[in-house]
Structures are given as C-alpha cells and as structure tokens.
C-alpha cells in the first residue's frame, strides 16, 4: 500500500492548497492512506473542528497534532468528537483526545501514533516509553509514527528505536524538509522532517519582515502574521508491504503545482 504523510499544514494558504489539490495528488500518486499534521492549520495556530472536518472530507484520513494542539479553542471539540484526529500520546492523560488510533480499511489495519519530543519543547512524558506502551496495545498491520519534535537528533533516535517495530517514522514541527528519507535496517521507512505545506517565501510560514525584526530587536513583542504567496506542498510517500508491515520504498515530495 502507498501511504502519504503531509508536512505541517500552515494557516489558510496551506489548508486551501490541500482542500483544492489533495484528491488529485492521491489519484496521481495512487495513495491508499493519508496522514497530515494539522497543528498549525488554523490562522492562529492549532486547529478547529471545522478545519479538521474539511481536511478529512478532502482526503486526509488521519490528522496528527503537536505542541500547538490546544492553541485554538476549537481543538477540544475536534479531539472529543472527531475520531480521525489525534494529539501527542505523551501529553497528560487528562487532556482531551487520544494519542493513537487504528483504521480498518478491510484488507489492512493502519495504526497511527502521535508523539511529542522533549528537547526544547513543552514538558511531556517520555515519548519512547509512550510509543512502546501504545505498540503493546495496538492491533494493526501497518503502523506510522509522527514524532513532533524540535531536535533532529531526537527524531532520528526515535526512528532507530522503532526500527523493525513500525512501518514508518516521520518528523514534523520544524517546517524544513530534510533530505534524509530512507529505509532503516529493520525495514522502517524514515524521514526526519516532512517539511511545511504553506507559503515558502516566508520564515516558516510567517511574514519575513516580522521575523527579521524579531531577530534584530530582541525583547520586543511581535504578532506573528502568516505569510501570503505561492504555496509549496511538502510530504513523503511510503510504499509498504502489508503482509510484513515493512516499508519497501520512500519518496520525498516537494512541489507548488499539481
């Protein structure tokens, strides 16, 4: 089967690109299942019920989140009522939502786990222990993990930790696509960061002049306004043997037109 993972969808430009083009992307690349990180999909970070519902209706099968999970008040409703959106598993269990799910497609059960890194991030439980605990409970043929983390080293470490235990591990959060897509020795597909689906002529999706002022004038407060312009789609396709759960091919995607 072919699984598409989409890098952080950023604000209106990013989500509108996905709304308009995902079905064509799925058709062109013969995608069987799609996972997208939506923690920046709302204009003020986070996600809303309406955005999550529309992403699902336009072709995203599972939405993962990150450190901005609860940045928008609409996230609580989405996490409580929509079965296809998950938040980092290693957040406090009292928080709304769940950290993993399994989707039964009939011929194959696809599991997705969402984890939050701990290096230079908000406090969270150990993502490595959380992943192990989830795997002991999951009944799935194919499993993918979104490790939403600041440090590339932590994401790479998670890939090696889960090698042979899951079908694929991909990183999100830093919005810069890495050129390290590969299949690890145990058969797990890996990429350290999927990148960002948003305006490329920006600084991580925010207007350039604001970020330049932010770095040149430390101490001042700024409102980070989302950039406008040409959107680039970033993601990765994992070709998986459903009989073994191993990845047999990895293809990185980056384009502005489909």
pLDDT tens digits for range 42-95 = 998 899 999 999 999 999 999 999 999 999 888 999 999 999 999 999 999 999
Would the pLDDT of 97 be above 90? Answer: yes
Q: Which two tokens stand for residue 54?
A: 């529309």
Q: Helix crossing, 49-57 with 11-29: angle to 10°?
A: 20
Number of C-beta neighbours around residue 174 at 10 A = 21
What mean pLDDT do residues 124-151 have?
97
Calpha distance 43→203 (Å, rounded): 15
Sequence-distant (≥ 6) Cβ neighbours of residue 90 within 8 angstroms: 99, 115, 116, 124, 125, 126, 127, 129, 130
What mean pLDDT do residues 232-241 have?
98
What mean pLDDT do residues 119-130 have?
95
Q: Which two tokens stand for residue 164?
A: 């042979």
Residue 99 pLDDT: 98
Active site residues: 68
Homologous superfamily of the 2-255 domain (CATH): Metallo-dependent phosphatases (3.60.21.10)
pLDDT tens digits for range 14-52 = 999 999 999 999 999 999 999 999 999 999 889 999 999
Residue 79 pLDDT: 96
Beta bridge partners of 33: 3
Domain ranges (residues) in the chain: 2-255
Q: pTM for the full model?
A: 0.95
Residue 77 pLDDT: 95
């Amino acid at each position: 089967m072919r699984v598409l993972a989409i890098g952080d969808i950023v604000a209106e430009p990013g989500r509108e690109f996905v709304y308009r083009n995902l079905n064509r992307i799925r058709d062109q690349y013969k995608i069987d299942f799609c996972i997208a990180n939506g923690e920046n999909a709302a204009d003020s970070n986070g996600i809303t019920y309406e955005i999550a519902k529309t992403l699902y209706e336009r072709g995203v099968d599972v939405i993962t989140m990150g450190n901005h999970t609860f940045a928008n008040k609409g996230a609580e409703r989405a996490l409580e009522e929509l079965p296809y959106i998950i938040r980092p598993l290693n957040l406090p269990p009292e928080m709304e939502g769940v950290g993993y799910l399994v989707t039964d497609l009939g011929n194959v059960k696809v599991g997705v786990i969402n984890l939050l890194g701990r290096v230079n991030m908000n406090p969270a439980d150990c993502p490595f222990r959380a992943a192990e605990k989830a795997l002991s409970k999951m009944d799935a043929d194919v499993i993918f993990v979104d490790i939403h983390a600041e440090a590339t080293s932590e994401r790479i470490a998670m890939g090696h930790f889960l090698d042979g235990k899951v079908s694929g591990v991909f990183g999100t959060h830093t919005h810069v696509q890495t050129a390290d897509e590969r299949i690890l020795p145990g058969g797990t597909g890996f990429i350290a960061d999927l990148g960002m689906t948003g305006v490329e002529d920006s600084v991580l999706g925010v207007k350039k002049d604001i970020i330049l002022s932010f770095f040149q004038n430390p101490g001042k407060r700024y409102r980070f306004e989302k950039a406008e312009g040409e959107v680039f789609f970033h993601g990765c396709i994992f070709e998986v043997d459903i009989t073994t759960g191993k990845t047999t091919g990895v293809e990185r995607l980056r384009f502005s037109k489909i």
